[in-house]
Structure 1
Amino acid sequence: MLKKIKINNNWHFSLSKNYNSNKESIDNRLKSHKEFPAKVPGTLHTDLLNNKIIDDPFYSDNELRMDWIPECDWLYQTKFDFKGSIKNNIDLVFEGLDTVSEIYLNNIRLGGTDNMFVKYRYNVKSILKSKGNELKVLFKSPTRYAADEEKIYGKLPVALNSTRVYLRKAQYSFGWDWGPTFPTSGIWRNVYLEEWSVAKIENVTFNTISINKKNAEVEVNIYVNSSDKKDLALDVSISNRDTFYEQKIPLTSSSKNKISFKINEPKMWWPNGEGEQNLYLLKVILVKENIVLDEIQKNVGIRAIELVLKEKNNATFKFRVNNKDIYSKGVNWIPADSFLPRVNKKKYSELLLLAKQANMNIVRVWGGGVYEDDEFYNICDELGLLVWQDFMFACGSYPENDDFIANVSEEVIQNVLRLQHHACLAIWCGNNENEWIWYQEQKLSYKKMPGYNIYHKVIPGILKKIDPSRPYWPSSPFGNDDDPNSFESGNTHQWNIWSRWIDYTAVVNDKSLFVTEFGFQGPANKDTFEKYLPIKNRNISDQIFEHHNKQVEGPERIIKFLSGHLPIKSDWDDYLYLAQLNQGFALKTCLEYWRTNGRTNGSIIWQINDCWPVSSWAIVDSDIKPKMSYHFVKNSFAPQLIYFTNDGIRIKIHLLNQNHLSINGKLRITIIDSGSGKIVSEQNLKVSTKNSAITEISSMWLKELPPDNNWILTAVLFDESNTIVCKNYYTLKFWKHITLEKPQLKIKVINKKDSTYLILKSNNPVFFIDIYYPNVTFSDRGFYLLPGEQVQVNIIGKQIKSFNEKDFKVYSLNNYLVT
């Protein structure tokens, strides 16, 4: 039976004797080449931090004093014994080395590495000893390597750091407009010995060939590495709680063995909100004369995914899952930490569960990061989150020399074979924005772009052989027009709003078929920022605070757009509340427009997460604390959405009903005078919606509302049990021009043994309530409350104390708009 023996322990690191840096700031302990304990998987920066050689890279502007680290060469080494049998095949496997290194075992050079996205494997059978094996990895400076490659092959048109494209390393580590510059080095994934006898399973792929309610045909391909195929056989089974299918076949002379199954009454896998996430267990066992040599198990889903580009002779762009058209509601995913080994299963689970709970059904893994760990995709399978998977190229032209193409080809093959069995994996995409940026800046056809062959020939050629049934899209954005970001075909990135200083209200001019990027910045949460910013720097015009916004003129944009909609307040707490609120307004406005305009088939927010504490487009900050905007997004993506249309004569109130549920209840319509904040009109209407997607549930004449647009219209839909189904508001005035009454909130705290929740009521309309207590996360933020309603807000997580009403600080927009 194949065995894996981890070699993650007892590692040490030191500055290489030829460390190639003239920086005087290097610690004398490092210059003496002293060895320090290292963590594997890990990174150089985190090892330096753990050994108290550097301060927290995220704190204040410490980033600026760490540029010497990637300039140096570093040595990692360990010793280990081997208790296995040298009669077997023995491979030394590195699942991830970041990035440029040379590997030595017992002073014999095994090889060099230059791609952090691939697995490196070396046959060490003849080198291993039973005692005292010495394994060394010499990491070379990634910045120097990239610069040297650029000198050889020439500078290419690239956003940000131009040298980065010459190194197959996470591109964001060179700095991005939301992230710091930390080009790391290290053994960032597991290292182990793999001991096997005459044969082993290299890869297993799974595809749904056809599907209907009665049966499905699925195909399993097994790739086997063997020196002698005599008497080798495969035992392949697919099962769930109700069914079991099995086939046993002798191994063929080919390295690839194909087996098909017909599954009766298949339990299909569906995206979140569309059905259940049914998974089957696929088990592949390699045997020789009834002795098990190797075994692989994978969870797989039976489903069909199509990318629809044409409908009734008109261009479109949408996903069709199991023959059902899906509106894609999602987020872009960036690496969840600047130091990747700190992204563990818990962090994956928390972030992806937040996506599911916000009614999302798709996550795009952005091309400037990494192919995420297997656990990421396992969780997406379980939660029903489709994955749009970019290949790791972003915002630039890329080289096409033979060595680079060979390196990329191996990267593509390995990662496609590793990931393709996942039910969640909806689409491969060649890159992020390369063609679009080339077209914008060079004013030439993207076909002339260096790197064009990678996305239009190399990658699709590989996919045709090993994953032909899954949709592939060359870039994002991309379409059939000269402009890769055209509204007329394909998908778009909407960055006129925000990045080109255009307000989010201009979204009504957008005619996208599918939006794969758009966003609006807001600051991180108070607790998160205050952990990393000294007290003296908690000021909106402070240089250190601005350092924690990486976009050029990012802080200025926040202020500019804030001034367009809300009062400007420079007090630290007020600024955080108002800037986060405006981010919520922006995302709500855009999402509801795209979701209801009848043309757009998907909206994917930039972005869900951050890799460090920063003001950015994220809706969840780097400490996994949802911003206020997260809750606006959650409501805008809800299965039932109230929205308003205005033709200049009448305002119509519609219900978008994703699940086509029949709802019998009432609609509460309230009109508030925006000059006084008082309710001037209220009515309750009976509502009965049948199983339709969109229903007009009420309307009113504009002339019957208070003059000069001095009104706020609210609509709340209740079901038969008087539970709120959904609610929304509508006004033609900017909130900064509205007057509200001082809030008359009543808060009751319910402390139970294992939980605490708040009951909020109000005697007057109170808008965009936010509750704060240090290091506490609340289940809802930014909601509004009308007389007669009550809202329960839960405290998330384990309770360590009892609270009372006076413990909480409560914000609302009323406090800033009082007469």
Structure 2
Amino acid sequence: MALSVHTLSTAWSFKDRDDDSAEAWMPVPVVPSVAHQDLQANGRLKNPYVGFNELDARWVNDKSWTYRTQFQKPAIPSGSRVVLAFDGLDTFATVKLNGSVILESSNMFLGHRVDVTKALESKDEHVLEIDFDCAMLRARELKGKDPKHNWASFNGDPARMAVRKAQYHWGWDWGPLLSTAGIWREVRLEVYSARISDLWTEVELAADHQRAQVSAFAEVEGVDSDGPYNVSFTVRLHGEEVARNVTSVQDGIAKVTFDVKQPSLWWPNGYGDPTLYEVSASLEKDSKIHQISKKIGIRTAEVIQRPDKHGKSFFFRINGVDVFCGGSCWIPADNLLPSITAERYRKWIELMVAGRQVMIRVWGGGCYEDDSFYQACDELGVMVWQDFMFGCGNYPTWPELLESVEREAFYNVQRLRHHPSIVIYVGNNEDYQVQESAGLVYDYEDKDPENWLKTDFPARYIYEKLLPEIVERLAPKTFYHPGSPWGDGKITSDPTVGDMHQWNVWHGTQEKYQIFETLGGRFNSEFGMEAFPHMSTIDYFVENESDKYPQSHVLDFHNKADGHERRIATYLVENLRTATDLETYIYLTQVVQAETMMFGYRGWRRQWGDDRHCGGALLWQLNDCWPTISWAIVDYFLRPKPAFYAVARVLKPIAVGVQREHHDWSVTHAQPPKTSTYKLWIASSLQKETIGTIELRFLSVNTGLEVRESITREGVKIVPNGTTIILEGVIDHQTHPEPHVLAARLWVDDGVIARDVDWPQPFKYLDLSDRGLEVKALESGDEQTLHITAQKPVKCLVFEEREGVRVSDSAMDIVPGDEQTVTVKGLGGPPLKYKYLS
């Protein structure tokens, strides 16, 4: 018989496990869900994302919960079995069927399959019940059983490291303390006699890309009964069949090999089409019994590490093309994970594409994301840096925990390995930094894994033996990196090797953001600057108008970063004229974030052309898990902050950059320099040489007039996939004492394709009043084109972010004599408000 699926998503109820009263049971609207969602649905819990409600929800974290449903026995043809499948139970779960325990789980990241054929024989109606123990209490119990272990960590209760659960559920420096419990992924009954339990491929792409060999494997369960089984494999491209083959099952595996001539390759966003082939396997015995399909990409993905004049490189090469990985880090998009829909995942990745980002880093303190997340990345061409779920801690390694970790890694790499978007697996987030800060033993020269388990840093065994062996077994073509940051056993801040997290802007020594480019390494996989979200987001979580001022208690409560008050204040007071009204204050924090990201990305992308000195930059962070004040460049409601647009401009296929040398005004007590050097360059990710014309103007901030003759270069040959240095010059501040901007424009084929404006620093010393800005909409309707001009240089023109409305650009600098246009889609209402630095 054909496999049939019966999803158990409705008719559930739940209760506080310790409440035995008759009225304790409450209905569950739909599964998957977690207790916080279901309590809200029953009016027992206020929205924890609003005001101080998170504090009123803390009692939920300390409870144990029971979920129950009744279901009818499905039709079970002779010779068939019934399997109860759980894709995710959060976290300490005891599953009972008709009162008998059939499963005990202690790992949120695992799926489970339980054969319940015999259990369903006796009657037609059955009771499924799941007890979820309190994860926080269990974590503390487990921690107490291992007092000799050094529980060093950053963020949250150190006991979290004893539990295989999303670590951010213990609270983080951008998220609330909401420890969930429940059926967080699908539950279903499957009835079948035989099925395909796994489908995967191995791809060999010829060096000239003219041919690919695709080997397809199907693992088959239940075929050792009566008679032969065949598996029919097909390969389709854009819905059209391009290959088919049928083979028998041998020792539970069916395998075929296809030769694909002139394959369409999978490329990252901006480098070509992210072409996907559909590979299907159909299990047949007289008729089709079960079919499974997966979409794959034909591509090669390498991490190039080679000695050079800067140390040892770290960059990605896709299909033989070196790719500068401008992108972001990703945290879970909600604290209540079942609430994230496939549509919401896709909107996030669509925003990345609109922002010209090519890589997303799935951070190790969250979860292995839903399939729909990776499918969106596959389809839209966003490369995935996939951390394993270990973050900011010295993890213990008792045998039961190691066994659970091994099963977790196997399950998830097996589940994810077909996705062409995943180009690297990484062992952890910042655990080697914890090792350094706590002074734990790490002898890189000791290559005996058994010795590692005996040290006070035993998790090295996980990152340098257990995980790489699983990746090598299941996904041998995907690069494995022990940790982030990490580089050949050197200190994690070493800028010459591996990847690094650069937090000396914001955290650490709190350097000026204007020098970000000097602080980078070979691959900058974390760096960031906080900013407030837009006013509409603050209106959502701030209930009282009296609390809508910059330093209100509720606003501070929604910023979990340690010392955020002084750090935000520092960067504001150093750079801008401060404000007390909330809307202006919000805008000023966003200006600082946009400038910080621009300085980092612009300088590091220029270094790409210097022997791949910098291989990529992944800002912290793309998104939020609740409405908050954080480092995110797009807030919880998918509203881009100005930094989103600043990054998008720097990541254009061809971008122009101009920058004067940094003058540290705080050290010299604002004494101006006599001269300043500057550089003008073009960065390109195109694979062919391009010819352009570049112009550099020197415009007075005060009048908008030119203070010296402009410079124009025609017929400039733009180096492909690298950096073209146009000129290096000197500003004589004695000859030209008036503050002025350096405004660069680049034309290709009679059109301006890139701009950059370098400003005197800091902005607080500039008079930015009376700019003569005009924003005109010459068309009306759902799509408008805004025409923007100014009589004097304008800094960071930001348009209102409105629900359902998308602007093509924002956070723009406007200079006299250079009209710019912005397309607005989905407006259908009053004109967008805008603000600029004044």
| TM-score, shorter chain, exceeding 0.5 | yes
Match of 2:571 among 558, 561, 569: 561
1:2, 1:503 → 2: CA distance? 61
Are the aligned partners of 2:355 and 2:645 in contact in 1 as well (CA < 8 Å)? yes
Q: Are residues 668 and 763 of structure 1, via their aligned partners in 2, closer, same or farther at CA, if it must alter by over 3 Å?
A: same
Measure the CA separation in 2 of the matches of 1:612 and 1:660. Answer: 40
Residues 542-596 of structure 1: CA deviation (Å, up to 9, x unaligned): 1111011111111221110111111111210110011101000001001111111
Separation (CA, whole Å) in 1 of partners of 2:783 and 2:524: 40
Partner of 2:198: 203
1:777 positional shift: 5.2
Structure 2 counterpart of 1:51: 42
Work out whether 1:240 is the aligned partner of 2:237: yes
Partner of 1:16: 17
Written as runs of structure 1 = structure 2, the 5 A alignment for 1:108-187 is 108-128=100-120, 131-154=124-147, 156-160=151-155, 161-187=157-183
Long gaps (5+) in structure 1: 20-29
What is the distance in 2 between the residues matched to 1:371 and 1:753?
42
C-alpha RMSD of the superposition: 2.3
Partners of 2:209 and 2:262 within 8 A in 1: yes
Pair 1:716 & 2:745 matched: yes
2-structure distance, mates of 1:194, 1:85: 10
CA contact (8 A) 1:678 1:740 kept: no
Letter in 1 for 2:763: W
Contact 1:549 1:555 in 2 (8 A): no
Whole-Å Cα distance in 1 between the matches of residues 60 and 679 of structure 2? Answer: 60
Q: Deviations over 1:279-332 (max 9, x none)?
A: 1110111112x3212111111110011111114595111111111211111110
Which secondary structure does the structure 1 equivalent of 2:732 belong to?
Answer: helix
The equivalent of 2:334 in structure 1 is 337
Question: Which deviates the most, 354-363 or 148-157?
Answer: 148-157
Deviations 1:430-452 (A, max 9, x none): 11111122112225327541311
Which segment is superposed worse, 563-572 or 582-591?
563-572
Quote how far apart the aligned CAs of 1:335 are: 0.2
Q: Deviations over 1:460-483 (max 9, x none)?
A: 122222222211111101111431
Is 1:192 the counterpart of 2:188? The answer is yes
Number of the residue aligned with 2:719: 692
Q: Tell me which of 812, 817, 823 is aligned to 1:783.
A: 812
Greater CA deviation, 488-497 or 703-712?
A: 703-712
Contact 2:659 2:758 in 1 (8 A): no
Report deviation, 1:763.
Answer: 3.1
What do residues 649-695 of structure 1 show as CA deviations (whole Å, max 9, x unaligned)?
Answer: 75342111211555555434322224555443464735323352333
- Measured after TM superposition, the shift of residue 240 of structure 1 is 1.3
> Structure 2 CA distance, aligned partners of 1:498 and 1:506?
13
Secondary structure of 1:702 counterpart: strand
1:465 corresponds to which residue?
Answer: 473
Alignment partners' CA distance in 2, 1:761 and 1:461: 59
From 589, 604, 611, the counterpart of 2:618: 604
- In the other structure, the counterpart of 1:659 is 686
Relative distance call for 1:687 and 1:341 in structure 2 (3 A) is: farther
Give 1:417-816 correspondences, 5 Å limit. 417-442=414-439, 444-445=441-442, 448=455, 449-500=457-508, 501-534=510-543, 535-597=545-607, 598=610, 599-644=613-658, 651-660=678-687, 663=690, 666-674=693-701, 676=703, 678-681=705-708, 683=710, 685=712, 687-690=714-717, 692-693=719-720, 694-697=723-726, 700-703=729-732, 707-708=736-737, 710-721=739-750, 723-750=751-778, 752-772=780-800, 775=803, 778-797=807-826, 799-801=827-829, 803-804=830-831, 808-813=832-837, 815=838
CA distance in 1, matches of 2:39, 2:777: 45
What does 1:263-278 align with in structure 2 at a 5 Å threshold?
263-278=260-275
Maintained 8 Å contact 2:640/2:801: no
Q: Is the 8 A contact 1:493 1:515 kept in 2?
A: yes
Per the alignment, do residues 84 and 688 of structure 1 end up closer, same or farther by CA in structure 2, a change over 3 Å counting? farther
- Cα distance in 2 between the residues matched to 1:481 and 1:15: 48
**Alpha-carbon offset, residue 636 of structure 1:** 1.3
Q: In structure 2, do the counterparts of structure 1 residues 10 and 658 end up closer, same or farther at CA, with 3 Å as the change threshold?
A: same
Q: Deviations over 1:689-733 (max 9, x none)?
A: 335233344554423885347221111223334x32010011342
Contact 2:268 2:383 in 1 (8 A): yes
State the number of aligned residues: 795
Structure 2 gap ranges (5+): 444-451, 662-674
Q: Is the CA contact 1:219–1:261 (under 8 Å) kept in the aligned structure 2?
A: yes
Counterpart CA distance in 1 for 2:409 and 2:677 is: 55
**Residues 457, 274 of structure 1: CA spacing in aligned structure 2 closer, same or farther, 3 A cutoff?**
same
Give 3-state SS (helix, strand or coil) of 1:245's partner.
Answer: strand
Determine the C-alpha separation between the residues in 1 that align with 2:492 and 2:691.
Answer: 46
Report the residue type matching 2:390 in the other structure.
Answer: F
Matched, 1:387 2:378: no
Q: Is the 8 A contact 2:604 2:616 kept in 1?
A: yes
Check 1:86–1:157 CA distance in 2 against 1; reply closer, same or farther (3 A cut).
farther
2:487 aligns to what SS in structure 1? coil
Q: Distance in 2 between matches of 1:576 and 1:676?
A: 28
Answer yes or no: is the 8 Å Cα contact 2:707–2:740 preserved in 1. Answer: no
SS of 2:374's partner is: helix
Q: Does the Cα contact within 8 Å between 1:333 and 1:366 map onto a contact in 2?
A: yes
SS in structure 1 of the partner of residue 699 of structure 2: strand
Maintained 8 Å contact 1:666/1:687: yes
Displacement of 1:153 after TM fit? 2.1
Q: Check conservation: 2:704, 2:816, Cα contact below 8 A.
A: no
* One-letter code aligned to 1:671: F
- Take 1:430 and 1:369, find their aligned partners in 2: how far apart are those partners? 13
TM-score if structure 1 supplies the norm length?
0.93
For the 8 Å contact 1:677–1:739, the answer to whether it is kept is no
Within-5 A mapping of 1:269-288: 269-288=266-285
Provide Cα deviations, 1:368-419, integer angstroms capped at 9, x if missing partner: 0011111111110111111110111101011211111111111111111111
SS of the residue aligned with 2:58?
coil
| Residues 474, 662 of structure 1: alpha-carbon distance in 2 compared, 3 angstrom cutoff | closer
- In the alignment, which residue of structure 2 is the partner of 1:366? 363
Moved more, 617-626 or 159-168: 159-168
Q: Which moved more, 1:635-644 or 1:745-754?
A: 745-754
Cα pair 2:40 2:47 within 8 Å, conserved = yes
Shift of 1:12: 1.2
Which one-letter code corresponds to 1:299 in the other structure? K
Q: Secondary structure at the match of 1:97?
A: coil
DSSP-derived class of the 2:595 partner: helix
1:470-503 CA-partner distances (Å, limit 9, x unpaired): 1111110111143133222211111122111222
Residue 583 of structure 1 aligns to a residue whose secondary structure is helix
CA contact (8 A) 1:676 1:740 kept: no
**Residue in 2 that maps onto 1:84:** 75
SS of match in other structure, 2:33: coil
Are residue 219 (structure 1) and residue 215 (structure 2) matched?
Answer: yes
Would you say the 8 A contact 2:794–2:815 is kept in 1? yes
Q: Distance in 1 between matches of 2:370 and 2:50?
A: 27
Shift of 1:750: 4.8
Task: Give the deviation of 1:800 after TM superposition.
Answer: 4.5
In structure 1, what residue type is equivalent to 2:5?
K
- Residue number in structure 2 paired with 1:26: none
Once the two structures are TM-superposed, the CA of residue 796 in structure 1 deviates from its matched residue by 4.2
Question: Which deviates further from its counterpart, 626-635 or 742-751?
Answer: 742-751
Instruction: Provide the TM-score with structure 2 as the length reference.
Output: 0.91
How far is the alpha carbon of 1:117 from its aligned partner?
0.8
Distance in 2, matches of 1:105 and 1:196, equals: 20
Q: Deviations over 1:310-367 (max 9, x none)?
A: 1459511111111121111111010001111111112111111111111111111001
